[in-house]
C-alpha cells in the first residue's frame, strides 16, 4: 500500500506544483492589495490549479511514453509509465478522474466568473492533454514555451484576480502574469536543453531542437533577468513603495542559475532544473510580500 502511494505521488510530480500555484499566489496578493480578496474563491482556485497541473503531468507521462519520447536514455526524473510502475491505461484513467474533479470545481468558478472562466478552464484542460497528446501535440511542435507563458502567466494571474472581483483586462495583473510566465518558461527551457539530443532522435521539435541549445541558453538568460525589472516598473508607475524591491534579494540565485545553464550539460542540468523551480517559488514569495506590505 505504501509503495503504491509512493508510485502515484511520483506520477503526480508534486515538485511541479509550485509552478502552478505561483501565479495564483500573485493574483491573490494583488487582489488583497486592491481590497477584493475572497478566501473561499481563492481556495477553490488553488485546488483547480493543482488538479489541472496533476492531470497535465499524467497526460505528459503516458503520452510521452506512447510516442516513444521517454526511453531508457531519459536523463530526467523517473516517469512511471516508462519505468513500468503503472500501466498506461491506469495513468489515463487517473488523468480522466483528476480532470473530472477539476471540471467540477470549474463549474463553481464559472458560476462566479462567467464565460471568461469557462473559456480559460476549458482551454487549460484541453491544452494540458494536447501538450503531449492528440494529433498535434504542442510540446512536440515548438509551442511548449508559448503554452507555458500563456497558461502559467498571462492567463493565470489576471484570471485569478478577475475571480476575486477585479477587472479581467487589468494591465498590472497582465504584467504580473507575464513575469510569472517567463519564470515558468525557464523551467521548461532547462528541461528542453537537457533532453535536446534525445528529442532529436525521437522527433520531438522543442525550441532547443529547432534553434539549438545555445539559443535556448540565451533565451533562458534573458527570461531569467526580465522579472527583476518588474519592481522598478511597479515603483515608478504603480505603487511607489520600497517593499517591492525585496525581490532583488533573490537575484544572486538567478545569476548563479544563469552561470550553471552555460556550464552544465546532461544529467547535471537536473540540478539547474530544481534550482530554477526553487527560484521561481522564492521570487513569488518575495514578490507577494512586496505587494502586500
3-class secondary-structure state, position 254: helix
Answer yes or no: pTM beyond 0.85.
yes
- In angstroms, the first-to-last Cα distance of the chain is 45
Residue 74's pLDDT is 61
**Alpha-carbon span 113 to 236, nearest angstrom:** 31
Domain limits of the chain? 2-292
Q: Which residues are CB-contacts of 272 (< 8 A; sequence separation ≥ 6)? A: 190, 257, 260, 261, 264
9-33 pLDDT, tens per residue? 989 988 888 889 999 999 999 999 9
121-142 pLDDT, tens per residue? 888 888 888 888 777 888 888 9
221-234 pLDDT, tens per residue? 999 999 999 999 98
What average pLDDT does this structure show over 194-218? Answer: 91
Arithmetic mean of pLDDT over the chain = 90
Amino acid at each position: 500500500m505504501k509503495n503504491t502511494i509512493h508510485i502515484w505521488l511520483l506520477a503526480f510530480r508534486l515538485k511541479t506544483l509550485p509552478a502552478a500555484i505561483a501565479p495564483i499566489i500573485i493574483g491573490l496578493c494583488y487582489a488583497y492589495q486592491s481590497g477584493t480578496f475572497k478566501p473561499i474563491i481563492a481556495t477553490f482556485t488553488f485546488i483547480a490549479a493543482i488538479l489541472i497541473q496533476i492531470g497535465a503531468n499524467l497526460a505528459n507521462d503516458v503520452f510521452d511514453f506512447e510516442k516513444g519520447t521517454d526511453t531508457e536514455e531519459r536523463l530526467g526524473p523517473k516517469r512511471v509509465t516508462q519505468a513500468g510502475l503503472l500501466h498506461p491505461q491506469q495513468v489515463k484513467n487517473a488523468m480522466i478522474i483528476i480532470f473530472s474533479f477539476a471540471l467540477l470545481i470549474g463549474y463553481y468558478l464559472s458560476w462566479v466568473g462567467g464565460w471568461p472562466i469557462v473559456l480559460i478552464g476549458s482551454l487549460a484542460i484541453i491544452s494540458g492533454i494536447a501538450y503531449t497528446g492528440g494529433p498535434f501535440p504542442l510540446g512536440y511542435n515548438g509551442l511548449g514555451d508559448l503554452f507555458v507563458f500563456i497558461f502559467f502567466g498571462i492567463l493565470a494571474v489576471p484570471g485569478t484576480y478577475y475571480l476575486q472581483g477585479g477587472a479581467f483586462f487589468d494591465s498590472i495583473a497582465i504584467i504580473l502574469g507575464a513575469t510569472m510566465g517567463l519564470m515558468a518558461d525557464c523551467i521548461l527551457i532547462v528541461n528542453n536543453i537537457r533532453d535536446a539530443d534525445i528529442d532529436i532522435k525521437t522527433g520531438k521539435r522543442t525550441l532547443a531542437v529547432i534553434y539549438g541549445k545555445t539559443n535556448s541558453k540565451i533565451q533562458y538568460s534573458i527570461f531569467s533577468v526580465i522579472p527583476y525589472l518588474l519592481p522598478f516598473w511597479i515603483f515608478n508607475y504603480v505603487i511607489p513603495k520600497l517593499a517591492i524591491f525585496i525581490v532583488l534579494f533573490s537575484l544572486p540565485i538567478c545569476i548563479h542559475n544563469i552561470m550553471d545553464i552555460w556550464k552544465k550539460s546532461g544529467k547535471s542540468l537536473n540540478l539547474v532544473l530544481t534550482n530554477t523551480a526553487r527560484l521561481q517559488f522564492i521570487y513569488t514569495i518575495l514578490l507577494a510580500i512586496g505587494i502586500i506590505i
